[in-house]
């Protein structure tokens, strides 16, 4: 893998305000990846492919990442980036809305990374749980959304997203089959493991 190219892609995404995974969030997920070397990862929200390419370093041999993106321009950029970094044999992009694509998937995954429309997190969770292997793990990024989720200030225009993220946290905390931690790294990361 071309790490220099990956670093260039990261810088470009930051310059263009594309919301790529934050360094401290990535560090937490990398710790899991290094320990488990998963075979199949599902990512919801590719953007330009940065997080998927970072994860791909730690896949088991012949492991694969499926990642879903609906924005046509980002899909094209992600494809080019993945090719330039040299990981096209490890990452498959599903093009379209995850709400439509997820119900058509039937693979089993060791890890799911939820990082797309905040209003859909509960739906993504339901689909993730349907496809998660025993011992699987779900990471949900941006779960604390700039601190709004834990504050009682409720008047900002993102309140629908905030309500949805709170419902996600409630659901993963109360689901008797899951063990969940919420970390204040980056924009907030929910980690749910199957018990």
Instruction: Return the one option of ligand SAH, Mg ion, none that residue 128 interacts with (CB less than 5 to 8 A, by type).
Output: none
Complex with ligand SAH: residue 100 or 135, whichever CB lies closer? 100
CA distances for 59 relative to 41, 93, 135, angstroms: 9, 16, 16
Burial class (CB within 10 angstroms; exposed 0-12, middle 13-18, buried 19+) of 100: exposed
Residue 141 is a binding residue for Mg ion (CB under 5 A): yes
Q: Are residues 31 and 111 in contact, defined by beta-carbon separation less than 8 angstroms?
A: no
Instruction: Kindly indicate which of the ranges 10-18, 34-42, 56-64, 139-147 contains the residues binding Mg ion, using the contact rule CB under 5 A.
Output: 139-147
Instruction: Return the one option of Mg ion, ligand SAH, none that residue 142 interacts with (CB less than 5 to 8 A, by type).
Output: Mg ion
Binders of ligand SAH in range 100-129 (CB under 6 A)? 115-117, 120
Residue 98 is a binding residue for ligand SAH (CB under 6 A): yes
Complex with Mg ion: residue 110 or 141, whichever CB lies closer? 141
Instruction: Please report, to the nearest 10 degrees, the dihedral formed by the alpha carbons of residues 183, 90, 37, 181 taken in order.
Output: 20
DSSP classification of residue 20 = P
Q: SS3 for 186?
A: coil
In the complex, least distance from residue 125 CB atom to ligand SAH, rounded to whole angstroms: 14
Q: Are residues 138 and 125 in contact, defined by beta-carbon separation less than 8 angstroms?
A: yes
**Tokens of residue 23, six digits:** 């360094």
x/- string (CB under 6 A) for ligand SAH, residues 134-153?
--------------------
What CA–CA distance (Å, rounded) separates 153 from 40?
Answer: 39
Binding test (CB under 6 A) with ligand SAH, winner from 6, 33, 50, 169? 50
**Tokens of residue 13, six digits:** 């995404």
Binding test (CB under 5 A) with Mg ion, winner from 56, 67, 81, 142? 142
DSSP classification of residue 134 = E
Instruction: Return the one option of ligand SAH, Mg ion, none that residue 64 interacts with (CB less than 5 to 8 A, by type).
Output: none
Instruction: Return the one option of ligand SAH, Mg ion, none that residue 171 interacts with (CB less than 5 to 8 A, by type).
Output: none
Interacting residues toward ligand SAH by CB under 6 A = 19-21, 45, 47, 50-51, 68-71, 74, 97-99, 115-117, 120
């Amino acid at each position: 893998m071309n790490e220099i190219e990956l670093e260039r892609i990261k810088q470009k995404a930051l310059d263009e305000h594309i919301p790529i995974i934050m360094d401290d969030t990535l560090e937490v997920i990398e710790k899991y990846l290094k320990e488990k070397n998963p075979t199949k990862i599902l990512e919801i929200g590719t953007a330009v492919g940065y997080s998927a390419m970072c994860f791909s370093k730690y896949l088991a041999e012949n492991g694969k990442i499926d990642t879903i993106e609906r924005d046509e321009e980002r899909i094209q950029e992600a494809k080019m980036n993945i090719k330039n970094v040299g990981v096209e044999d490890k990452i498959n992009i599903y093009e379209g809305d995850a709400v439509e694509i997820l119900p058509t998937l039937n693979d089993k995954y060791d890890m799911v990374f939820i990082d797309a429309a905040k209003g859909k997190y509960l739906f993504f969770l339901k689909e993730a749980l349907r496809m998660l292997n025993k011992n699987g793990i779900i990471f949900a990024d941006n779960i604390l959304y700039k601190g709004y989720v834990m504050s009682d200030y409720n008047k900002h225009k993102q309140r629908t997203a905030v309500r949805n993220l709170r419902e996600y946290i409630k659901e993963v905390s109360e689901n008797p089959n899951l063990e969940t931690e919420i970390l204040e790294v980056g924009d907030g990361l929910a980690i749910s493991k199957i018990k």
